[in-house]
């Protein structure tokens, strides 16, 4: 078995893992990222950046370069029912320059973060290999083993970070419990159609029937559509046959019915998202921390996924620098991250549950009350507070650039 040493072993090369790696590299640490995929040429779900996430990427110096690869600024979040706008949350009311949402292919963001990390000689990226076990010294996680058989590589680290998504293998290997919460009544069937000149520069929840639809512009020249359906109900719907399923989708989004009909040719054109919430029972143990979806899982309402991942990295960064400098990766020291961050995450869980109930629920009292509540919200101070929380979070987060060493990536190269 091969062997290497590093200060931080980050498992997962998504937004959370790569942003944290870059923060640690700029603070003078050695960082190894383990990513099971060999490239970013694959389908990603999360494409929307909130202003809070853009702020952090700006402070890391990667936002402009990612945008140059292609993306669309989105002005508003709208709730539309039978072509009538019930709610219009206008991001242009926020202070510039982060006064919009950004629809951007996730690979553009990841490529720029990875490029920035590679400017540092103390960065190693182990691609195309998965973690097979955690390495322990006593009770402390002291690194990870990747690969199997003769191709195994043991990575010894001061601290290991699980940033490997909602079905985190690191979380399972560490024996950390996870509580799944069925907080949402819907799953989402995602697909894209050509924009055909019908872009809106907005995110919309469109209601014209029993199954609301999420719609936004997707780069390049596409419209991303998410058709909501009852939780666990796809099997029953698909049993009716694919043509019947397409007709149902056309009825749910009549403004794009012709594009749906022309684009959806088989089940391979659809991607089903099992929508649930959940959280690891604890995010830290001796020698190991979980961040992003590995620590807490959210639904797509409010486009919070990438935002929360980047904020996790920024909040965790100073805790890990202090741990590394003190040579102490004990749980008691690492708990500072979870203690600071969990109340903000709980606030997002609560907000998303309310958003889902208000925008996606169908029938009865909710249909009668929804227009009234939407009109009232737009004319109260609560509107600005909700916009601020969705855009930047309950507690705004900034990069701790004061912890960076004088040597930048370009100088190190």
Amino acid 218: pLDDT: 96
Using 50, 70 and 90 to split pLDDT, how confident is the model at 368?
Answer: low
Amino acid 34: pLDDT: 98
Q: Check the CA dihedral 207-212-213-214 and report its sign.
A: positive
Say whether pLDDT at 38 is over 70.
yes
How far CA 72 is from CA of 47, 62, 201, 261, in Å, comes to: 10, 16, 7, 25
pTM for the model stands at 0.94
Mean pLDDT of the chain: 91
Amino acid 210: pLDDT: 78
- Residue among 225, 236, 228, 170 at smallest CA distance from 203: 225
Q: H-type helices in 27-149, by residue range?
A: 51-60, 63-68, 106-117
How confident is the model over 79-108, as a mean pLDDT? 92
How confident is the model over 224-247, as a mean pLDDT? 93
Residues 143 and 155 sit within 8 Å (Cβ to Cβ): yes
- Residue among 65, 44, 62, 42 at smallest CA distance from 53: 62
Q: Which domains does the chain have, with CATH numbers?
A: 2-43+104-181+276-360+403-412 (3.50.50.60), 186-273 (3.30.9.10)
Residues 226 and 190 sit within 8 Å (Cβ to Cβ): yes
Q: How many residues does the chain have?
A: 413
Instruction: Say how far apart CA 249 and CA 190 lie, in whole Å.
Output: 11
Say whether pLDDT at 14 is over 50.
yes
Residues 54 and 63 sit within 8 Å (Cβ to Cβ): yes
How many CA within 13 A on the CB side of residue 346?
A: 7
How confident is the model over 94-118, as a mean pLDDT? 96
How confident is the model over 182-200, as a mean pLDDT? 91
Say whether pLDDT at 381 is over 50.
yes
Say whether pLDDT at 370 is over 70.
no
Using 50, 70 and 90 to split pLDDT, how confident is the model at 411?
Answer: very low
Poorest-pLDDT segment among 26-40, 118-132, 399-413: 399-413
């Amino acid at each position: 078995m091969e062997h290497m040493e590093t200060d931080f072993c980050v498992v997962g090369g998504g937004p959370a893992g790569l942003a944290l790696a870059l923060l640690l590299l700029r603070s003078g640490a050695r960082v190894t990222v383990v990513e099971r995929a060999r490239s970013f040429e694959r389908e990603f779900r999360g494409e929307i950046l909130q202003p809070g996430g853009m702020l952090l990427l700006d402070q890391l110096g990667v936002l402009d370069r990612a945008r140059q690869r292609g993306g669309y600024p989105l002005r508003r979040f709208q709730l539309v029912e039978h072509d009538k706008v019930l709610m219009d949350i206008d991001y242009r009311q926020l202070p510039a320059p982060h006064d919009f949402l950004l629809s951007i292919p996730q690979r553009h963001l990841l490529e720029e973060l990875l490029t920035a990390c590679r400017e540092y000689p103390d960065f190693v990226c182990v691609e195309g290999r998965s973690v097979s076990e955690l390495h322990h010294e006593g009770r402390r996680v002291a690194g990870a083993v990747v690969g199997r058989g003769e191709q195994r590589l043991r990575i010894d680290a001061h601290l290991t970070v699980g940033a490997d998504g909602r079905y985190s293998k690191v979380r399972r290997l560490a024996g950390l419990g996870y509580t799944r919460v069925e907080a949402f009544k819907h799953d989402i069937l995602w697909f894209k159609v050509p924009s055909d000149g019908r872009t809106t520069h907005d995110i919309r929840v469109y209601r014209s029937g029993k199954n609301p639809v999420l719609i936004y512009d997707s780069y390049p020249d596409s419209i991303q559509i998410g058709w909501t359906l009852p939780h666990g109900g796809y099997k029953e719907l698909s049993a009716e046959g694919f043509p019947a399923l397409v007709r149902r989708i056309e009825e749910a989004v009549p403004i794009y019915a012709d594009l749906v009909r022309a684009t959806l040719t088989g089940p391979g054109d659809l991607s089903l998202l099992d929508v649930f919430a959940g959280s690891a029972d604890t995010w830290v143990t001796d020698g190991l921390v979980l961040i992003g979806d590995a620590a807490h899982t959210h639904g797509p309402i409010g486009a919070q996924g990438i935002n929360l991942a980047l904020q996790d990295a920024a909040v965790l960064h100073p805790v890990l620098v202090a741990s590394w400098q003190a040579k102490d990766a004990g749980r008691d020291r690492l708990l500072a991250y979870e203690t600071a961050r969990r109340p903000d995450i709980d606030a997002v869980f609560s907000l998303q549950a309310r958003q889902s109930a208000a925008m996606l629920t169908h029938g009865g009292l909710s249909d009668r009350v929804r227009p009234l509540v939407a009109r009232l919200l737009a004319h109260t101070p609560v509107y600005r507070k909700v916009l601020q929380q969705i855009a930047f979070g309950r507690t705004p987060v900034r990069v701790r650039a004061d912890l960076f060493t004088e040597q930048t990536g370009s100088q190190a190269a």
